[in-house]
Amino acid sequence: MSNRDQNSICNKYAHNSVSQFQNSAFKIFDILARGQIVAQSISIVAKLRIPDNLRDGPKSVGEMAVSAKVNPDALYRMLRMLASVGIFREIVSSREEKKQNEYSKARRFQLTPTACLLCSQTENSVRDFALLSGLDSLNKATINLLHTIKTGKNSFKYANGLEMFDYFQRKKNRTDAEIFDNAMTSLNLSYKSSLVRLYDFSQFKTILDIGGGQGLFLSHILKENPNQHGILFDLPKVIQRAKENYWASNKKRIYGKSHHHSLNSRCKLIGGDFFKDIPYGADGYIIKNVLLNWDDESVTVLLRNCLRTMKRSSSTVHGRSNLKRPSPKLVIIETIMPEGNAPFLGKFTDILMLVLTRGGRLRTEIQLTELLKSCGFNILNVLRPPDKVSFLSVIEAVPRTRRS
């Protein structure tokens, strides 16, 4: 189609009717206006703990401004904007109240169900994710999206000088790393129950969670299965933070009639690099929300390391070589990219992977299947979430035998 024909079609749509043109233009204006401003504002109110301040009931802008040490007029205008998208609700004062009270005292806000999720102690809180979206390092990367589109290389390194995971390993960036870890932990909280309903993890005697972060998902599985053992495997610094934070709080918790059933006694925490070697001794190997962070070449290295380790894990169970275990399984938990134009949260996540990681991406079922087959695995099953709220699928695979 020539440029002239294309322009003719665009003009036809644009001038078909004034109202249609205005509606279409407004939609673009709306998207542009909301975008970064809304995301930044959500991150700011989370950082200032405005939602926590409203847990006990509505408060005036003046009260919140004093507590947060910010300008009351600026705070009011930001909260008014967030209220327009369902985060917070302004309580409209009567004219008489406005006359009798100062401006900052007459303007009051309260929580909405959406705003409640930004509270720090709320179940399924997304506060840590809101803080993550406000990090300067991530914002520098997204602002430089054009660099990524031009070169195909991530803009995180372009803007910050290091690849994202290397950046988080630096001591001076420890706070950013903790925010990232906490955000990933909150993600685990949001899907742990739905995944346990989707897939039967009780079939395994020992589960190895590869790149498992703080270990929240693994601990949830172990709590559901008191006779099961686990191995949490991630980078040494990640494992150290896990020991200092989440797992330290579990030391005195007993899940059963004896110390043998306590969570910490049933789980080993091992630091290492899954691109070099993976611990053995499990019959269930989980890779959850990991593959999307890496390019095909890196994923191939990881999967082949899994294959080698799984073949070594066929005979030893907790140091007792006389006991045989079932054939090990690989359980990949990942967002599968659908085909077509339908709205899907993963399409936005995919662009974040493009910006933040070295070749990371969300993959279609065909792409994931081809990667697994090329690394020596056979697919047993692909389980998709039954609802439109969940977005993680489960791919079950086993090492390919000579016969298969």
Q: Mean per-residue pLDDT for 156-165? A: 95
Confidence at residue 383, expressed as pLDDT on a 0 to 100 scale: 95
Q: Does the pLDDT value for residue 325 go beyond 60? A: no
Q: Does the pLDDT value for residue 291 go beyond 60? A: yes
Query: Which pLDDT band, with edges at 50, 70 and 90, does 380 fall under?
Result: very high
Give the whole-number percent of the chain exceeding pLDDT 70: 82
Confidence at residue 304, expressed as pLDDT on a 0 to 100 scale: 97
Q: Mean per-residue pLDDT for 313-321? A: 51
What domains can be seen in the chain, in order of their start residue?
3-120 (1.10.10.10), 136-399 (3.40.50.150)
Residue 285 and residue 201 in contact, taking contact as beta carbons nearer than 8 Å: no
Of residues 2 and 191, more confidence is placed in 191
Q: Mean per-residue pLDDT for 123-132? A: 89
Confidence at residue 61, expressed as pLDDT on a 0 to 100 scale: 93
Confidence at residue 11, expressed as pLDDT on a 0 to 100 scale: 54
Q: Does the pLDDT value for residue 78 go beyond 50? A: yes
> Is the pTM of the predicted complex or chain greater than 0.75?
yes
Q: How many residues appear in the chain?
A: 404
Confidence at residue 322, expressed as pLDDT on a 0 to 100 scale: 46
Distance CA 306, CA 275 (A): 10
Q: Convert 19-51 to b/e letters by CB count within 10 Å (16 or more is b).
A: eeeeeeeeeeeeeeeeeeeeeebbbbbbebbbb
Q: Mean per-residue pLDDT for 56-67? A: 94
Least confident of 18-32, 270-284, 350-364: 18-32
Give the whole-number percent of the chain exceeding pLDDT 90: 61
Query: Which pLDDT band, with edges at 50, 70 and 90, does 104 fall under?
Result: low
Q: Does the pLDDT value for residue 221 go beyond 80? A: yes
Confidence at residue 23, expressed as pLDDT on a 0 to 100 scale: 63
Q: Does the pLDDT value for residue 1 go beyond 60? A: no
